[in-house]
Amino acid sequence: MTRAMRRWGAGGLLLVSLAMMFTPAPPRALACGAAGDSGEQQSAAEALRLLRQAEEARWLQPVFYRELQTTILRHGVETVARTIAWRPPAELRVEEDHDDGRRIAVWNGEERWLYDSRSPYVLHTEARAPGWDQVAPPLGFGRPSPHGRLTPGQWAWSEAQGPGGRAVYLVEGGKPYAYSRYWIDQVHYFLWKEEHYGPGCQLVGVVVRSDLDFDPELAPDTFAFEPPEGAQVVTDPITWRMRSLLHALSRHAPIAPAVPTYVPAGYMLAGGGITEVDGSPALHLRFHDGRDLLSVFQVLAGEASETSPLAGVARRVSDGRGAEVLVMGAVRDGYLFLVVGDLTQAEAERILSNLQFEPDF
């Protein structure tokens, strides 16, 4: 957002921008592929069955493989390289290298570890400890649901030639603003490649998998983990997630984070980042209830004041999908806070009235 936006009356354009920051873009283009146009393609039900079978195939037997994920972002390209080892029924190791650090997840029948080199905190829980599922683990960590990422829409499949000349099923479809293609091996249903497209058929992500071994020789200590020297082991998932998040954000902006001690029932901390609001640095905490996103923005001290047009705003604006979200602002301890989400004004007021500047994490 540019500083020029501050010239708009009562922050009207800014309110729309805030609402659009965390909602999918509206449909602007036809599907990027030819789903449903070819006589070789079959029913959407069969296409979705192939996708489910491909997801399930990776968890039926011991497996080792590598994957390279490329995400095209507004500010550049992000690449993540992973190695994944799985042995049923409950042993998993994921090692993930990206531009600014290394993440490791190790699960076994008794305990689970999550380590991120960018944080001095390591999460260690029992395999079925209460609260484990209350925090979304980093991407690539954990056994996904075979139904979790299939978006409604039009789907179709055809036979094609995949990586290395392999015979594959090419499954493609989704919605105009969320279209995907999947290359699935015809013999063992391994998912070799994924392509994902956004509005205007622009490529937004690619995943390529290789080095597949369905009968790997895994070392005895594959599913064990020793925390690095000096790392603090945390046993509560919520505490670990918050500490790690605030530690990461503190390096990027001179903001003393305030954490809401109240969010509506069902919402859990999903992530955070540094952004801009009306041209000023801001901390952005994201909470999710499995369907909707709730955002809390904290604008850098010194930039907010009681006279800011956003300080007392309480307005519903369109989220770009025909629905409305509430945008509500208030100044607390020299910071401007904004709550954006599908919630009532009373809930937003309660969030803004329960901000803790020195959370006990």
Residues 64 and 153 in one domain: yes
pLDDT band at 232 (very low <50, low <70, confident <90, very high): very high
Residues 158 and 264 in one domain: no
Residues 80 and 140 in one domain: yes
Closest CA to 175 of 193, 157, 201: 201
pLDDT 10s digits, 201-231: 889 999 999 999 998 999 989 999 999 999 9
Has residue 242 got a pLDDT over 80?
A: no
How far apart are the C-alpha atoms of 86 and 62, rounded to whole Å? 5
Among 213, 244, 274, identify where a domain stops.
213
For the entire predicted model, the pTM comes to 0.67
Determine which of 21-30, 260-269, 345-354 has the lowest per-residue pLDDT on average: 21-30
How far apart are the C-alpha atoms of 11 and 17, rounded to whole Å? 10
Residue 244 in domain:
no
The pLDDT value recorded for residue 16 is 44
Among 163, 185, 213, identify where a domain stops.
213
CATH code for position 134 = 2.50.20.10
pLDDT band at 124 (very low <50, low <70, confident <90, very high): very high
pLDDT band at 181 (very low <50, low <70, confident <90, very high): very high
Has residue 141 got a pLDDT over 60?
A: no
The pLDDT value recorded for residue 75 is 74
The pLDDT value recorded for residue 306 is 60
Instruction: Identify the domain containing residue 66 by its residue range.
Output: 44-213
Separation of CA 217 from chain center? 32
Has residue 10 got a pLDDT over 50?
A: no
Phi, psi (5° rounding) for residue 47? -60, -45
pLDDT 10s digits, 335-352: 899 999 999 999 999 999
Has residue 40 got a pLDDT over 50?
A: no
Counted domains in the chain: 2
CATH code for position 15 = 3.30.200.100
